[in-house]
Structure 1
Amino acid sequence: MLVEVLKEEYRRHFTTDPHMFISETFIGMVQNKCDRMVRLMKEDDSSMGLIAGIKDDILKSPFSAPFGGFHYSHEHQFYYTISNFITDLKEYVNKKDLKGVSVTLPPDLYQANMNAKLINAFIRSGFTMAVPDICNWADLKNFDGKWAKYVVEQNCRKAVKHGLTWSLVTDMKSKEDAYEVIFRNREEQGRKIYMTLDDLLEMEHIVPVDFFLVRDSNGNGIGAGIFYRGHEKIVTGIFMGDDMEKRNLGIMNLMYKHCFYHYKDMGFDYIDLGTSSFEGEPNIGLIRFKELHNCITSLRYTFSWAP
């Protein structure tokens, strides 16, 4: 049986986080976006735990993040520990008269062993699997400046030839410029952006946030990237975009190249470049673009169950 525990009790058993989106600092910042937050553990076993938000009578992990998932004492949990927790999760939903539960797991980059067992257990326990989202990540350990296709380096040279420059920016005006590029890019594609610049600046209080700009020869921002450094070995790309009418200048090729070198030099092993799909619908061009830049393509799973 799962029981709700206080933060102090929960954290006595789970002192580290598989990723930043289930850390106390992040949860504390977004907890006002759900009706109630709960920390769940088994009554007789502290091997696994779940922080989730109840929103519209549905238990959600995450309730305001790209992905959520479980805490665990170590990644090599026995299968029955995982399957029993998921069975108890269904019982908790029933007992509390909730409408259902939804869990989006982190990509395999963060926890391959746990994901394999969790996915199997979710399916065997009768959960419904949504069409998996396609996500991409880059292995910086093996990055040597060579790309999957030579056209990437050709486009980087084109960018330099046209006077484009890349830089990490720290002043407020440049951060505003970077956000404006991202905003324009989303608008041009008819996509919503769910974070304001103020939201990103607020995030800087709990995790390092890096803003990058590609400028043209006149100093105008035409490409941008925003990243979180919330993991010891994995840096997370939150937003990347360019001015689409100038895309043929190689803006994003230059962005990827310099970001890869930048974070490799900082000692990071991987860059999580997020999803290349929306609610399971693949963005074929974006997948291809990331794979040209040596990215590995994998899946991100969401499971749900209703009584």
Structure 2
Amino acid sequence: MGRHFILPIDDKYKIKVNYFIDSEANHIFNTSDFFNIHQTERAFYFQLCKKNSDLVLGTIHFTEIASNLFKSPAKGTFGGFVIQENIEFNIYEQFIITVDNYLWYIGAKRIEVIMQPMCHNPSLFSLTYNILIRLGYAVYNHELNYNLVVDDICFSAKINHGNRKRLNKCLREDFIAKEIDYSAYDKAYSIILENRIRRGFLFSMKYEQILQMVSIFPQKMKLFGVFNKDVIVCSSICVVINPLILYVYAWGDIDNMQNYSPITLLANYIYEYAQKKAFQLIDLGTSTLLGEPNIGLMQFKKNLGCQESLKLSFSKDSKIMITENQ
């Protein structure tokens, strides 16, 4: 087949492959721009459409990251399926089945899907779980994700007493939180990297990759920081997932800030920014690694007013296909 082609579903629906049609329903990690950053020789951008229409009803992309191993996404926090609201269940199921069948047809030995956290769209999460489990997929990784609901309640009313004291202390000491301009991106990145190293954690993205994301998604990458006079003492990299969800990809402060905890002031600023921009959810990411809890990180996010949500990764191996076809 050529670079782009069509997979039929029935007399009303079809899947356009590698047509890269714009869709308002997509989250950032399901956009064609993100797909194109990491695509390999065998990579497929599937979009569910009605026949004789370019209106996209659903999207997922898969990339071959190793021999006959297809993953959604190739790299990134999550990929998975995105659909328009109120799509009929049987149509969504046929979309998944058709994509699944095509990947096995071209020789897949394993398929992996990292789903967005349940809190992003509980209905989509539940429907997808039901369909994938019945198709023979299994959960190969489960994480606890933490999110903060954005509403009319002020941030200080959501956090615990200790964090309120830290927030007030930063304000009394004239610490200032604000959006960081491009000239300070390198310093902001260095603070986060050094913070991760100091705490014994990995930081997967290099500075050049951050700049690449900023270049491709200038309106969706947001860097914020806390300043003590003219010195950045704390910074964050945030990603606009969609018009309703703001994701704190990473944050950190400089050493010896325990008495101030400027992260709390930064969290307050991000929350107020989200209120102004009409976001409904701030995603603070996972606090587990391969399912194992980081108790300190979990409590830190709970003290900021967060609540837990499942984030699942699914997989299916070719041996299951063989068993099904016997």
- How high is the TM-score relative to the length of structure 1? 0.86
2:69 corresponds to 1:58:
yes
Q: Which position in structure 2 is the counterpart of 1:117?
A: 127
Q: Secondary structure at the match of 2:215?
A: coil
For 2:49 and 2:247, locate their aligned partners in 1 and report how far apart those are by CA, in whole Å.
Answer: 34
Identity level (%): 21
Q: Which position in structure 2 is the counterpart of 1:286?
A: 297
35 and 198 in structure 1: CA distance in 2 versus 1, 3 angstrom threshold: same
Aligned AA (2:18):
K
2:221 corresponds to 1:213:
no
Please state how far the C-alpha of 1:195 moved relative to its aligned partner.
Answer: 1.6
The Cα RMSD (Å) is 2.6
2:48 corresponds to 1:38:
no
For 2:309 and 2:60, locate their aligned partners in 1 and report how far apart those are by CA, in whole Å.
Answer: 24
2:31 corresponds to 1:19:
no
2:113 corresponds to 1:106:
no
Please state how far the C-alpha of 1:44 moved relative to its aligned partner.
Answer: 9.1
For 2:170 and 2:80, locate their aligned partners in 1 and report how far apart those are by CA, in whole Å.
Answer: 40
For 2:112 and 2:126, locate their aligned partners in 1 and report how far apart those are by CA, in whole Å.
Answer: 18
For 1:187 and 1:95, locate their aligned partners in 2 and report how far apart those are by CA, in whole Å.
Answer: 44
Please state how far the C-alpha of 1:168 moved relative to its aligned partner.
Answer: 1.6
Kindly indicate whether the alpha-carbon contact (under 8 Å) linking 1:76 and 1:114 is maintained by their aligned counterparts in 2: no
Aligned AA (1:136):
Y
Please state how far the C-alpha of 1:48 moved relative to its aligned partner.
Answer: 4.1
Q: Structure 2 matches for 1:76-95, cutoff 5 A?
A: 76-95=86-105
Consecutive unaligned residues of structure 1, counting only runs of 5 or more, are: none
Q: Structure 2 matches for 1:143-154, cutoff 5 A?
A: 143-145=153-155, 146-154=157-165
For 2:49 and 2:181, locate their aligned partners in 1 and report how far apart those are by CA, in whole Å.
Answer: 47
State the aligned residue count.
299
Q: Which position in structure 1 is the counterpart of 2:280?
A: 269
Q: Which position in structure 2 is the counterpart of 1:238?
A: 249
Kindly indicate whether the alpha-carbon contact (under 8 Å) linking 1:162 and 1:249 is maintained by their aligned counterparts in 2: no
- Residue by residue over 1:223-256, the C-alpha shift from the partner in whole angstroms, topping out at 9 and shown as x without a partner, is 1111123521222211111235423322211111
Aligned AA (1:156):
L
223 and 43 in structure 1: CA distance in 2 versus 1, 3 angstrom threshold: closer
43 and 257 in structure 1: CA distance in 2 versus 1, 3 angstrom threshold: closer
Aligned AA (2:36):
G
- Residue by residue over 1:193-222, the C-alpha shift from the partner in whole angstroms, topping out at 9 and shown as x without a partner, is 2222222222223322222222345x4332
- How high is the TM-score relative to the length of structure 2? 0.82
Kindly indicate whether the alpha-carbon contact (under 8 Å) linking 2:7 and 2:17 is maintained by their aligned counterparts in 1: no
Q: 1:250 aligns with which of 254, 257, 261?
A: 261
169 and 42 in structure 1: CA distance in 2 versus 1, 3 angstrom threshold: closer
Please state how far the C-alpha of 1:43 moved relative to its aligned partner.
Answer: 10
Q: Secondary structure at the match of 2:257?
A: helix
For 1:238 and 1:170, locate their aligned partners in 2 and report how far apart those are by CA, in whole Å.
Answer: 18
For 2:169 and 2:122, locate their aligned partners in 1 and report how far apart those are by CA, in whole Å.
Answer: 38
